[in-house]
Amino acid sequence: MNDSRKLATATEPRLESTASLLRELVAHLRQQRAQLREEWARLITEAKLLTAMTKEEIFAEATSVYDNYVEALETGTYEALQAYARNLSERIIPRGVETHEVVGIVLLLRDVLARSLFAKYHEDFTKLNRILDAYEPAANRIAITVAVGFVQERERIIREQQEAIRELSTPVLQVRERLLILPIIGVIDPQRARQLTEQLLRGIRTNRAKVVVLDITGVPYIDSPVANHLVQTVEAARLLGATVIVTGLSPEIAQTLVNIGVDLGKMNTVGDLQGGIEEAERLLGYKVVLTRESAAEPA
């Protein structure tokens, strides 16, 4: 009981003085803004950071970061800084700015400001220590906020790109009127399976397809959830009024489909892509006839 009371009285004035020290600090940083900002921009160039940006751009961003930095110190809130960090990242990531550069410039700013504090308070060692006690935790928190903001933004962009790549990896090709081919290559994970279904169903509607050949020759194996998903996709296509022919089933995939107890009456399968296309053409009422010229060629 006694101890905790002592502790409480000991920390209260200290808390208050932290606030007043930060106020003093902020006033100093505002006053020295022009000079410190220039010093920082110079160090950034010297350290060969942000090389993808021009001097003017660096200076403009440095100004914004500086002001946001001082504001975060003053208010003790990091939302504005966080929003700015996201926005900044969004602009500089496409230009190839790396994580170490962003972390590097924020640490440089921390050091520039710390040095200016040394310079100002070097005669009063106790005061300097107290100022640094107030400054350091805030500065570290700011550095973390900016770095985390950058990394999160990068992850978001990577996720978007993955989605785009996945879409490209499953082209929907119209080979004839009413006939689509989806050649699938590589492993189908649940996410890709979902995307495949959406593309196939949308493709049926936009191309007014009646038959779709889903060629999985390039798929090494599938697990039961994905196999189930595939069967559901075939059923959903049927509900839109289209027939799906699955071609190129490997022995392993055939095994998986049998294991999950797929209703073979619902799956229209043909050995290879060529056979699948022939079957599709038959369903659509096409008749493929060899013309005289090409028939003569092999002879």
Partner 1 sequence: MQVPILKQGAYLIATVQSALTDEDLKQLRDTLVERVSVVRARGVIVDVTALDVIDSFATRTLRDVAHMIRLRGAETVIVGIQPEVAFSMVKLGLTLEGVATSLDLEEGLAYLDRKGKGPGHEVRTHR
Decide if residue 282 touches partner 1 (CB under 8 A). Answer: no
Helix and strand tally (H, E) in the chain? 11, 5
Of the candidates 135, 215, 137, the one whose C-alpha atom is nearest the C-alpha of residue 173 is 215
Q: Which of 14, 100, 115, 202 binds partner 1 (CB under 8 A)?
A: 202
Which range in 64-72, 104-112, 214-222, 240-248 contacts partner 1 by CB under 8 A? Answer: 240-248
Q: Which of 175, 238, 264, 272 binds partner 1 (CB under 8 A)?
A: 238
Exposure string for 191-218, b = 16+ CB within 10 A, e = fewer? ebbebbbebbbebbeebebbbbbbbbee
Half-sphere exposure of 181 (CA within 13 A, CB side): 21
**DSSP, res 54:** -
Question: Which residues have C-beta within 8 Å of that of residue 156, sequence separation ≥ 6?
Answer: none
Rounded to 10 degrees, the C-alpha dihedral 187/190/194/199 comes to: -10
Q: Which of 94, 137, 186, 241 binds partner 1 (CB under 8 A)?
A: 241
Choice between 58 and 204, CB closer to partner 1: 204
Decide if residue 191 touches partner 1 (CB under 8 A). Answer: no
Q: Which of 232, 255, 259, 274 binds partner 1 (CB under 8 A)?
A: 232
Contact map string, positions 258 to 277, toward partner 1, x by CB under 8 A: -------xx-----------
Q: CB of 248: closest distance to partner 1 in angstroms?
A: 23
Q: CB of 275: closest distance to partner 1 in angstroms?
A: 19
Decide if residue 192 touches partner 1 (CB under 8 A). Answer: no
Rounded to 10 degrees, the C-alpha dihedral 147/151/157/161 comes to: 150
The site for partner 1 (CB under 8 A) is made up of: 197-198, 201-202, 204-205, 208, 210, 232-233, 235-242, 265-266
